[in-house]
A = this chain, B = another copy of it.
Amino acid sequence: MDLDFTPGEDAFRAEARGWLAAHVPATPLPSLETAEGFAAHREWERTLSGSRWSVVSWPEEYGGRGASILRWLVFEEEYYAANAPGRVSQNGISLLAPTLFEHGTDGQRARVLPAMASGETIWAQAWSEPEAGSDLASLRSTATRTDGGWLLTGQKTWSSRAAFADRAFGLFRSDPEADRPHRGLTYLMFALNAPGVTVRPIGRLDGKPAFAELFLDGVFVPNEDVIGAPGQGWRVAMSTAGNERGLTLRSPGRFLAAADRLTTLWRERADPSDTALRDRVADAVIGARAYRLFTFGNASRFAEGGDIGAESSLNKVFWSELDIRLHETALDLLGPDGELCDGDGSGDSGWSEGYVFSLAGPIYAGTNEIQRDIIAERLLGLPKGRR
């Protein structure tokens, strides 16, 4: 049992740190939930990919460095420690790409991945529908066969990044006659500027259009943009959900950097004898450290071919609640400035935007209620059934 990095890993860290120090914008980019900020973040993706830092864990042929999960974790630590911009390509990289690696064709990978790596194509996810939040089996939007492809019709919502993104991916009901509701779904990719797509941005709590509704009216998708077999979309989508994704949805680097910034804020602002605040800051530091080490354990198990199944549910509940508590503590440390929104002028602390972002954590990617059910049923073996 050790926490040692190899000389190669240390060199990789040093290279990442050096590059980031030289390239991270001195002033924060505008919020990526604005048109201007989105463009700036896309440009940043191009800069990253120019030095092969945008998708370090991918094979080189698609723009990556073939880095191990451990190196990816190292990169993420350096990335957030450098206070580098949020990743506008996150949806594509963490949700679509793993699916393409596992279920896509060579042609799809060649067509999609390099453009994703460079920021040329920014992807939105299109999972949810108004009547199907966490319950994807009840999706209603349809994919109907047509000449050479499919026609998509229906409505998607909470499509993150869709206000400004280029393309989207999601599940559509292709066989309404299937014997069980989560069968008969097909996984498709489509362009957001295709005929028949209407994008209506939706403001999140602070008003910024962090997601959108998509209205689809006979949107044509060629067969080559179906991932996996038609009707197998549920299996395709789920197969990558619990595994590597459990490790990569939110890297420990984010929380380590946030806990460091919180500690700095506390040292600057707080009365050190105010133990109530001190304890909350300490808990953030402890939580970030625990998450880092937990992830190293999972990465070690994964590297040996172990499976990260229901344990990704432990992960999800832990980081999402840690994130909220950490940001609540920051707002309390800011005193009367704690309620001020970021992005409306000088003096942005960065904390309030982070706070609003954190509030979504327990909701998306499977609510924490569902994660706790999964922990209880799959990890602890408690009986299913009555909720």
Chain A residues 263-295 with CB under 8 Å of chain B are: 273-279
B276 touching A273 by the CB < 8 A rule? no
Chain B residues within 8 Å of A180, by CB? none
Taking CB atoms, residues of chain B closer than 8 Å to A274 are: 273, 275
Quick one: closest B residue to A275, CB to CB?
A: B276
Q: Taking the nearest CB of chain B, how far is it from the CB of A266, in angstroms? A: 13
Interface residues of A, dominant DSSP: helix
Give the complex CA separation of A274 and B386 in angstroms.
45
Within A332-387, the residues touching B (CB, 8 Å) are: 386-387
Q: How many copies does the complex hold?
A: 2
Q: How many residues of A contact B (CB 8 A)?
A: 9
- A 196-227 binary contact with B (CB < 8 Å = 1; else 0): 00000000000000000000000000000000
Q: List chain B residues, Cβ under 8 A from A277.
A: 275
- Complex Cα gap A172–B69 (Å): 63
Residues on B with C-beta less than 8 A from A273 are: 273-275
Query: What residues of chain B lie closer than 8 Å to A387, measured between beta carbons?
Result: 386-387
- Selected contact of A279 from candidates B276, B278, B386, CB within 8 Å: B276
Expressed in whole angstroms, the minimum distance between the Cβ of A69 and any Cβ of chain B is: 38
CB distance from A383 to the nearest CB of B (A): 12
Complex CA distance for A279 and B276, rounded to whole angstroms:
8
Partner of A386, one of B275, B276, B278, B386: B386
> Bound complex: CA of A275 vs CA of B387, how far in Å?
40
Measured in the bound complex, the distance between the Cα atoms of B279 and A279 in whole Å is 12
Nearest-neighbor residue (CB-CB) of A272 within chain B: B273
Once the chains are docked, how many angstroms separate the CA of A387 from the CA of B275?
Answer: 40
Complexed CA–CA distance, A104 and B277 (Å):
57
Chain B residues with CB under 8 Å of A386's CB are 386-387
Shortest Cβ distance from residue A280 to the other chain B in the assembled complex, whole angstroms: 9
Please, how many angstroms separate the alpha-carbon atoms of A265 and B4 in the complex?
A: 48
| Cα distance A279–B387 in the bound complex, in angstroms | 36
Residues from chain B with Cβ under 8 Å of A278 in the complex:
276
Q: What's the nearest-Cβ distance from chain B to residue A335, in Å?
A: 15
Whole-angstrom CA separation of A212 from B276 in the bound complex: 43
6 chain-A/chain-B pairs, Cβ below 8 angstroms: A273-B273, A273-B274, A275-B277, A276-B278, A386-B386, A386-B387
Q: Closest 9 CB pairs between A and B?
A: A275-B276, A273-B273, A276-B276, A274-B275, A276-B279, A386-B387, A386-B386, A275-B275, A387-B387
